[in-house]
Structure 1
Amino acid sequence: MTRLYVAARTHTGRVREENQDCVLVDAWVSARDAMLARSVELRPGQTPYVVAVCDGLGGHAGGAVASRLAAATLGATDWPGIDEKVVTERVVEAARAIQQVSDDVHGLRGLGSTVAGIALTATQLSVFNVGDSSVFRVMDGSLGELTRPDRRPDPHRAGATVLTQSLSVFTAVPDPSVATLAIARPMRLVACSDGLTDVVGTDDLRSLLAGEVGAPDGAREAVQRLIERALRQGAPDNVSVIVIDLVPDEARVPE
């Protein structure tokens, strides 16, 4: 068994008028500035527990619709496992759901969203992404990015980058980055939109995520610190963060 402590929050930021981000935590889907914090026991044989950050593409029609549709689709579909095939199929389903709305509703042509998420069982986890939302892991004081941003240099703007794929826009069928890891030791995981990573650097992320994994309110407090730092940095984009603390049964101290 593994104890999971999860917290999530999304914020419009300081500049945008609309929040085109959306967060998924199991069956909870939200695009409002509301904090979720809960603890869950992951037991062998249970349906995978899925979380994701979806970022509607700014400048595209219906970005908010796309992110919510992606989150709802990932949360509603059956996950028989978390191997690469299943994860890829579920992400492609989300892309197809967005594409269907884009094709059927004239005013919503060009829908698109990025996604970064984590599917968990009692013994393993799979991280996945399409676009430039990210998943990080903190373990033993070190911070590492587990996802691969789908970006390339912009040939028309020095120092700028452009997305190479997303859900629906740019690619008919996305090719998600998927990595499966064992849950053998306590770790902290973070899924976030680029509204966080564009303004909060790696060193600050490491500092803000420091703390005992599995401590009471630890995940919630980490989310608050990250959102507040992004806001102090001006938060020109929407900001969404999910923090998960994982503590396998063997690592817990008997009471």
Structure 2
Amino acid sequence: MVISYFGITEKGNFRSHNEDSMYACGEIVAGSVSGSISSSGFQSSEDSPLILALADGMGGHISGEIASRMTLEKLAWMVKKIQPLEELPRAGWQNLFRKINNEINEHAQETGRLGMGTTLVGVLFGRRKVLVFNMGDSRAYHFSSHGVHKITVDHSFSDPARDHHHSRSYITSCIGGGTTDLQMDLFDITNSLSEGDRILICTDGLTDVIKIDDLEEILRNASNVKEACSHLSEEANLRMTKDNTSVIVIEMKETALSFSEPWKFTPSERKR
């Protein structure tokens, strides 16, 4: 697998700080009002796995940023220490994220930052597999010649007691936040990918204000991943998102020719 990527994180119009953190192929951007992360040329997963991920911190100033940064630091450790990561069964992934979850909760207890937590969404590019994982309502989308579809399923629900002008979403699964029953989804998208396809991972600061039709238009018209990221981030701010916004766009430059298992769509929002 050969990819190029670009990522941007912004605090947005209304927040005084940025609780989002980004990770891409060994590099972390965290605790930054605004920042970017990019590949210098193309990256290949032939020799070692590539992981790109976003964490949307929760718990207020400092606490959310700490939870999101710590989660990505521990994810980076996983990439180095556990090989081949792509061959782990679902239960193995669940155990790894459960360990991270416990460590975040323990840190919160020890430091008095009760409630600190984070969502997490990411993509693993291995030698033979491409896997998407998520906890919470940060999302992953796949753009191809057929259009764009949402890979992940949100772990959240809206408060029915509120009207549509004042709706609020509640997270049902996250890392930290006192969570003891962690829900983690894992999607194998290996055989759905073709050269030129793009994967978008993003926090809800983007998807709260930009619908899937607009995402498709931006991903289709952007000439490269940097332009796509810049346009998405700018559009979120123009539409007055109330949250931090982080986006990473990944483009498939070269894909493997054959795989051992067929890929099947999982239940998701789909645009054709």
In 2, the alpha carbon distance for the partners of 1:67 and 1:10 equals 13
From 141, 157, 177, the equivalent of 1:169 is 177
In 2, the alpha carbon distance for the partners of 1:47 and 1:85 equals 22
Preserved CA contact (<8 Å) 1:48 1:79: no
Q: Deviation above 3 Å: which 4+ runs of structure 1?
A: 58-61
Match of 2:247 in 1: 241
Q: Does 1:115 align with 2:120?
A: yes
Q: Does 1:40 align with 2:43?
A: yes
Preserved CA contact (<8 Å) 1:21 1:240: yes
Query: What pairs with 1:10-159 in structure 2 (closer than 5 Å)?
Result: 10-31=9-30, 32=32, 33-38=34-39, 39-43=42-46, 46-57=47-58, 59=60, 62-77=63-78, 78-80=81-83, 81-82=85-86, 83=88, 84-106=90-112, 108-159=113-164
Match of 2:202 in 1: 192
Preserved CA contact (<8 Å) 2:21 2:69: yes
SS of structure 2 residue aligned to 1:35? strand
In 2, the alpha carbon distance for the partners of 1:119 and 1:87 equals 12
Shift of 1:235: 2.3
SS of structure 1 residue aligned to 2:220? coil
Shift of 1:34: 2.2
Q: TM-score, normalised by structure 1?
A: 0.88
Q: Could you give the per-residue CA deviations for residues 117-174 of structure 1, whole angstroms, max 9, x where no partner exists?
A: 1111133211011110000000114101111101123143234331111112252141
SS of structure 2 residue aligned to 1:205? helix
Match of 1:204 in 2: 214
In 2, the alpha carbon distance for the partners of 1:121 and 1:246 equals 13
Describe the shift of the 1:100–1:47 C-alpha distance in structure 2 as closer, same or farther (beyond 3 A).
farther
In 2, the alpha carbon distance for the partners of 1:48 and 1:89 equals 19
SS of structure 1 residue aligned to 2:170? strand
SS of structure 2 residue aligned to 1:226? helix
Q: Could you give the per-residue CA deviations for residues 31-81 of structure 1, whole angstroms, max 9, x where no partner exists?
A: 2222222121221xx332111110011548711111111111111223422
Preserved CA contact (<8 Å) 2:114 2:177: no
Moved more, 171-180 or 52-61: 52-61
Match of 2:2 in 1: 3
Q: Could you give the per-residue CA deviations for residues 204-225 of structure 1, whole angstroms, max 9, x where no partner exists?
A: 100111148xx6xx11111111
* Identity %, equivalent residues: 24
In 2, the alpha carbon distance for the partners of 1:169 and 1:60 equals 14
**Aligned AA for 1:190?**
L
Moved more, 159-168 or 96-105: 159-168
Query: Structure 1: which 5+ residue stretches go unaligned?
Result: none
In 2, the alpha carbon distance for the partners of 1:170 and 1:154 equals 21
In 2, the alpha carbon distance for the partners of 1:103 and 1:225 equals 40
Query: Structure 2: which 5+ residue stretches go unaligned?
Result: 258-272
SS of structure 1 residue aligned to 2:228? helix
**Aligned AA for 1:232?**
L
In 2, the alpha carbon distance for the partners of 1:250 and 1:100 equals 41
